[in-house]
Structure 1
Amino acid sequence: MTEQLLLHGIAVYNPGILSKEELKRYFVARQPLLKKLLDELKREQPGKTPQHRLIVGTRGMGKTTLLHRFALAVAEDAILSAHWLPLTFPEEQYNIARLSDLWVNCLDALGDSLEASGNSDLLDELDACVDELPSEEDERAKTALQALMDFADRLGRRLLLLIDSLDIVLERLKKSHWEIREVLGHEPRLMLVGASARVLEVTYEYESAFYDFFKIHELKGLGEDEMRDVLCRLAEVDNNTAITRMIEQQPARLRALHTLTGGNPRTAVWLYGVLAQGIEGDVRSDLERLLDQSTPLYKARFEELPAQSQKVVDAMAIHWDPLTARQLAERTRLPVNTVSTQVVRLAEQGVVEKVPLRPGKKNGFQIAERFFNIWYLMRASRRVRRRLIWLVQFLKVFYSQDELKVRAHHHLHNGERGGSDDRIRRAEYAFSLASAVDDPIISSALERSALQTMRGDSKLKKELAALLRFDDPDGKLKALADSLDFMQELKDRVIAARTQWPSGIEADAFASALKGSLTLTPEEKRQVIEALPDWENRQI
C-alpha cells in the first residue's frame, strides 16, 4: 500500500481515484477547514444567492483533496444532501475556450453524478440535451445554462460547483467575466467553491468583475501538530509502529521533517515513503524517484513566478543558506529595493520565508519548502561533487546524527558490488554521508572508502579528478588521494620486487605491514622500498 500510494504518487496526484473509505482515511490535515465549509454551507438560506468561496494554496497544499472530501461530506450528510448536489470536475479543464464550454462541463459533471447514483433515465435525457445544444456561441451558452437550471429544479436540489484550478478557467474566459459574475451573483441555485494555486488578481483589482466577490480561504503549510497527525495516520494505515514510535519519541526529528516539507502535505506524504524504507532502503534512489515525480509540480510552481521573482528564487535556492536582501541584490545584480519588494511578495505567497541570522539581529530569506530547494539544487548543479549538495542537504535535514552514523556503518560494511555505474553511485553516496555526518572519524572513513572505490576503476579516475578539483578547497581530499596512491604504488613495488623473502614471509604480508606501520613516515617507507632489489630509484 505504501509503495503504491506513496512512493509512486498515485493517490498523491489523483485523490479522485481513491475509494470513499480511502479518501476519508487519508484526509487528515484539513479537518478544521472542512468543518468550517460544512458549517457555512448549512447556514446558506434557501432561495437566496449563496456566498461563493475560493480556496487558495500553492501546489501540493491539498486543494484537490479538500474539494473531493468536501463533496463526499456533503453527499453523506442527510441535511446537506437534501438541498445540495456537489459536482466535481477534472483538475484541469483544458477544453474550456468559451463561456458555453463552462456550462456544458457543468452538465457533464451533473451527468457523472446522475450515473453514480444510478439515475439512468434522467442521465439519458441530459445526454440528449447536450447533443442537441445549438452551435452558435451565445445561444449555446444561454441554452446550456438554462438546461442546467432545469435539471436542478427537477432534482429539487441546488448545485455545488467544486471547480479546481479556477485560475486557469477564469484566465481562459477573460471576455466572459462579467457574464459569469452576473449569473453567480443572482442565481440561488448555483454555488461556486473554487480552488486556485495563486491569489487571483481579479479578486482584488477594483475594476475587475470579481472584486471582493469570493470569500477566500487560504491553505497555509501544516503546523507541526498537523504534520504529526498526517504521519501518524499514514503509519497507522501502513501498520508501521517504528515510525509511530519515532514521531512520539523524537520531537526534534518531527521538527526537521516539518522544516524540510515547509508544511506541504503532498511533500510530507512523499517523504513518509522514504522514511518507511528504514535502514535497508536505498535512500538516494528513493529520493531521486521522488524528486523526479515532483518535477511537474515544482516546475509549474517556479514557472508561474514573474521573471524577476524567478531570478531571486534561483539565487536563493542555489545558495541554500539564508541570504539578506542586500546579498541577494549582489547575486542577482538587481537594485536592493527591487529585491526587497520581491522577497516580501514571495513571502506572502509562501515561496520564501524570513529567518533570523545568527549572530546579530538581521533577518535573512530562504526557500520555505526545503524539499523544493533540494529539487532545484539537483537540477541546477552539474559538477561532480557540487551536484551532490542536494543529497547532502537532504541527509542533514531528514536524518538525525545517530541515524546517519548507523547508515555510515551500514555503508562501510556493505562490500563493493556492480559495475562502474554502481561504484560511482556508491562513492558519491559515501562522499555525501561524509559531508553530512559530524563524526570526523566516520567522515574520514567514508571519504577513504569513496576514494578507494573510484581509484580502483580506471573509468572513474576522470570523475575523481573533477571531484578533487572542484570541491576540495582545503586540499584534504587531494592529500588523502595522494596518500592512497602512494600506498598502492608501494604495495605494487613490493610485490613486483625480485626479493628472496625469509621463510614464513610473503610479499603481500610485508606490503600490508609496511603500509599499516604507524611508526614509519612516508619518506622512511619509501626508503625501505628503495632498499629492495630491482627498485628503480624514482620519487614516489
Structure 2
Amino acid sequence: MKPCPPLYDIASLPAPEVEELFYFHAPLLADLLEDLERETARSRAQHHLLIGGEGAGKSTLLARLRGALLDTYARRGNKRNKHKAKGGHPLFPIYLSPTALTLGRLSQLWLRVGGALPIDFHPPGGTEQEENEEQLLRELPARILEACSEAGLRPVLLLEDFDLFLGRVARQERSLRALLLQPGAPILVASASRAGSQDYQAAFFDHFKTHYLPAPNVQQARGLLLHFAEVLERPRLAKSPGLSEGRCAALQVFTGGNPRSLTRLWKLYAQGRPTRIEEDLAYLLDEETPVHGALLDSLSEQARVVLVSMAAHWSPIALGTLAKACSLPKGSVSSQLDRLRKAGLVHLRSLPGTRRKGYEIAHRRLALWLLAQDSTTDGRTRLFALARFLESFLPAQQSWADPGGTPMLRGALPRELGRLATLLSEKNWGQAAEELPPLLTQLPDLPGRSLGAWLALFRAGLAAGFGGELLDLVENSREAAALFPWVEALRARLHQNPSLLLALPHELRPSAQWLYEALEQPKEES
C-alpha cells in the first residue's frame, strides 16, 4: 500500500506521484498547456490567474503543470546545452512556494528565478542591500531575459498565493507589471484566493486570463475517493460505508466537495475503521481547529461571544435578537459586528419576509466548526442529526426522480403507511395519531422505496386539514432533530409560504425546499 497524499505540500512529491494523484481540473490543465504552447520566443505573454477557495486544488494543479512542462522541456530542450535548443524556445517551469513568497522586495523574487534556471546565472553584486533595490530591478530582469534567450528557453513562473505576494510588494507593482508586459518576459501562472483582497478587475490584471476553479459535484468528489482507493492500492475501501453514494452526497453538503477535505476523509478511511457519518463530520471539523482556534484567539472576548451566538442561531439573525442571545447591549454588539464585517468574517443578508437586514457568518466552515464546538446548545445535535438524515434522504430523493429529473410522487405504499393515509383521508385523526409516532422512528433512515409513501401520507394529512397536528407530532417526536427538514417543509406547506424556507441554514434549505415541493397535492388528488 502507498502512503496517503499530503494535505498541503503536494509540490514536494516527485512529478510521477503528482500525476498519479491528480484527478480534478484535467480540462483546465489541458487548456493551460494549449495556451502555453502558443507562446513564441518573443511573444508578449498571456499570463494566467487561477482563482479558487482554500483547498480547491490550486497547488495540485500548479504541481501537475510543472511536471507536464518539465516532461516537454526534457523532450525538446537539452539541459546541458547552453545554446539555443532545437525546436525553438522550450518552456521551463519555476515553482515558487508560499514560503519563498514571504519576500518583501521584488528583487528577491528575480534572484530566486535566476537561481532556479537550468543555466549558469550570475546576479550583480549588492543583492542583499535594500538601498540597491532600484538598480537591481533594472539589472536583474534584464540579465535573466538575456541569459534565457542565449540558452534557448523561456521561464514559466508558477506562483502560489499571488494575492498575498502582491500585497507585500504593492509599492513595486508598477515595476512588476512593466516587466511582465515586455516581449519575451517570463510567463506567469499564478494562484490566488477567491476571497482575497485583490481587485481582479484592476488594470494590473488586464493581461491575465482568469480561470475560476469549479467545485466538484458529488460524482466527482466520490470519484476522487475511488481514485485514491485504486492508485494507493486499497481496493477494499472502495466498498466501505464512507465511499457510499449517500455518505459522499451528504458530506458534500457540508464541505462543498473541497478536495482538501476529501483528502482528509481519505486519511480517516485509510485507517480501516468503519465510521458513522457523524464521526466523519466531527473529524473534518476538528481538523480545522488549529486555523479557527487561532482566529478566535485573535479576537476580543465580546467579538468571540458575538460569533459563537451567531453560529448557534445557524441562520441570519437580526441585531436585536443577537444582542439578546449575547446578553450584551445593542450598541456593543453593533460595534463588534462592524469590526467583524471589516475583517470579512460577517456579512449582511436580507431577513426573509422583511425589509430588514440580518447578520451571518461569512465562512460556512467557520460557522459549522463553531456549532460543533458548543455542546451546550441543540445546534450541535441538529448538525449531526442533519448529516444522518441527508445520508439516507439524498439517495432516496435521487431514486424517486425519473430520467428527466421530475420527482415521481406516486408509488406502492407500505401497508402501515397506506392504512394511515387512508385513516387521514377519512378524517380519523385519533387513531392515526396513536399509530404514527412509532413509525416516525423509521423516517430518518428511510430507504428509497419508502420516500414516496411518506410523502403520500403527509399529503393526505394536509389535504384532510390535519397539517397543524402532523407538524406538532413530528416536531415533538423523539426523532425531531433528525426530522428537521421535514418539520420546516411541513411548516411552510401548512402556511402556504415557501419564503419561510429562505431563512434556513444553507445545509438544510435544499432538502427542505425539495420536500416542500414534493408535498404539493398532485392535480388528480387536489
Q: Distance in 1 between matches of 2:247 and 2:348?
A: 20
For 2:155, the aligned partner's letter is L
Distance change (3 Å), C-alpha of 1:253 and 1:292: closer
**TM-score, normalising length from structure 1?**
0.56
Pick the aligned partner of 1:149 from 145, 152, 161: 145
Deviations 1:211-268 (A, max 9, x none): 5342221223222222122111112234444543468994333210211211211011
Residue 383 of structure 2 corresponds to residue 393 of structure 1: yes
Pick the aligned partner of 2:210 from 216, 240, 243: 216
Deviations 1:177-213 (A, max 9, x none): 111111111242311111112466554565xx51534
Deviations 1:443-482 (A, max 9, x none): xxxxxxxxxxxxxxxxxxxxxxxxxxxxxxx9x9xxxxxx
Distance change (3 Å), C-alpha of 1:77 and 1:205: closer
Alignment of 1:494-533 (within 5 A): none
Residue 168 of structure 2 corresponds to residue 172 of structure 1: yes
Once the two structures are TM-superposed, the CA of residue 133 in structure 1 deviates from its matched residue by 4.3
Higher helix residue share: 1
Once the two structures are TM-superposed, the CA of residue 55 in structure 1 deviates from its matched residue by 1.1
Deviations 1:305-355 (A, max 9, x none): 9xx9999975553333x336789877796999x999x99x98xx9x99999
Residue 398 of structure 2 corresponds to residue 377 of structure 1: no
For 2:37, the aligned partner's letter is K
Q: Distance in 2 between matches of 1:304 and 1:167?
A: 22
Unaligned runs of 5+ in 2: 78-88, 393-439, 445-475, 479-526
Q: Distance in 1 between matches of 2:271 and 2:349?
A: 33
For 1:139, the aligned partner's letter is Q
Residue 257 of structure 2 corresponds to residue 263 of structure 1: yes
Residue 108 of structure 2 corresponds to residue 101 of structure 1: yes
Q: Distance in 2 between matches of 1:301 and 1:191?
A: 36
Verify the 8 A CA contact 1:262 1:368 in the aligned structure 2: no
- Other-structure match for 1:194: 190
For 1:72, the aligned partner's letter is G
Root-mean-square deviation over aligned CA pairs: 4.9
- Other-structure match for 2:60: 65
- Other-structure match for 2:4: 5
Verify the 8 A CA contact 1:228 1:247 in the aligned structure 2: no
For 2:316, the aligned partner's letter is L
Once the two structures are TM-superposed, the CA of residue 85 in structure 1 deviates from its matched residue by 0.7
Residue 248 of structure 2 corresponds to residue 254 of structure 1: yes
Verify the 8 A CA contact 2:278 2:384 in the aligned structure 1: no
Alignment of 1:259-408 (within 5 A): 259-277=253-271, 279=273, 291=285, 293-298=287-292, 316-320=310-314, 322-323=315-316, 372-379=366-373, 381=374, 385-386=375-376, 390=380, 393-394=383-384, 396-397=386-387
Once the two structures are TM-superposed, the CA of residue 93 in structure 1 deviates from its matched residue by 2.9
Verify the 8 A CA contact 2:312 2:377 in the aligned structure 1: no
Distance change (3 Å), C-alpha of 1:312 and 1:221: farther
Once the two structures are TM-superposed, the CA of residue 83 in structure 1 deviates from its matched residue by 2.2
Verify the 8 A CA contact 1:62 1:265 in the aligned structure 2: yes
- Other-structure match for 2:461: none
- Other-structure match for 2:458: none
For 1:5, the aligned partner's letter is C
Pick the aligned partner of 1:44 from 31, 39, 42: 39
Q: Secondary structure at the match of 2:210?
A: strand
- Other-structure match for 2:222: 228
Q: Distance in 2 between matches of 1:325 and 1:33?
A: 42
Q: Distance in 1 between matches of 2:358 and 2:222?
A: 28
For 2:93, the aligned partner's letter is P
Once the two structures are TM-superposed, the CA of residue 397 in structure 1 deviates from its matched residue by 1.8
Q: Distance in 1 between matches of 2:172 and 2:183?
A: 16
Q: Distance in 2 between matches of 1:401 and 1:191?
A: 46
Distance change (3 Å), C-alpha of 1:235 and 1:355: farther
- Other-structure match for 1:83: 90
Q: Secondary structure at the match of 1:77?
A: helix
Deviations 1:361-396 (A, max 9, x none): x999987986544433355x3xxx428965873475
Unaligned runs of 5+ in 1: 115-121, 403-437, 443-473, 477-540
- Other-structure match for 2:509: none
- Other-structure match for 2:472: none
Verify the 8 A CA contact 1:378 1:388 in the aligned structure 2: no
Q: Rg bigger for which structure? A: 1
Verify the 8 A CA contact 1:130 1:144 in the aligned structure 2: yes
Q: Distance in 2 between matches of 1:141 and 1:296?
A: 39
Verify the 8 A CA contact 1:231 1:272 in the aligned structure 2: yes
Distance change (3 Å), C-alpha of 1:191 and 1:246: same
Verify the 8 A CA contact 2:101 2:109 in the aligned structure 1: no
Distance change (3 Å), C-alpha of 1:24 and 1:55: same
Distance change (3 Å), C-alpha of 1:235 and 1:187: same
Once the two structures are TM-superposed, the CA of residue 14 in structure 1 deviates from its matched residue by 0.6
Q: Distance in 2 between matches of 1:247 and 1:353?
A: 39
Deviations 1:493-527 (A, max 9, x none): xxxxxxxxxxxxxxxxxxxxxxxxxxxxxxxxxxx
For 1:129, the aligned partner's letter is P
Once the two structures are TM-superposed, the CA of residue 275 in structure 1 deviates from its matched residue by 3.6
Verify the 8 A CA contact 1:355 1:364 in the aligned structure 2: yes
For 2:376, the aligned partner's letter is R
For 2:68, the aligned partner's letter is A
Q: Higher mean Cα deviation, 308-317 or 14-23?
A: 308-317
- Other-structure match for 1:244: 238
Q: Distance in 2 between matches of 1:85 and 1:293?
A: 37
For 2:179, the aligned partner's letter is V
Percent identity between the two aligned chains: 26
Q: Distance in 2 between matches of 1:95 and 1:393?
A: 39
For 1:397, the aligned partner's letter is A
Q: Distance in 2 between matches of 1:363 and 1:252?
A: 36
- Other-structure match for 2:486: none
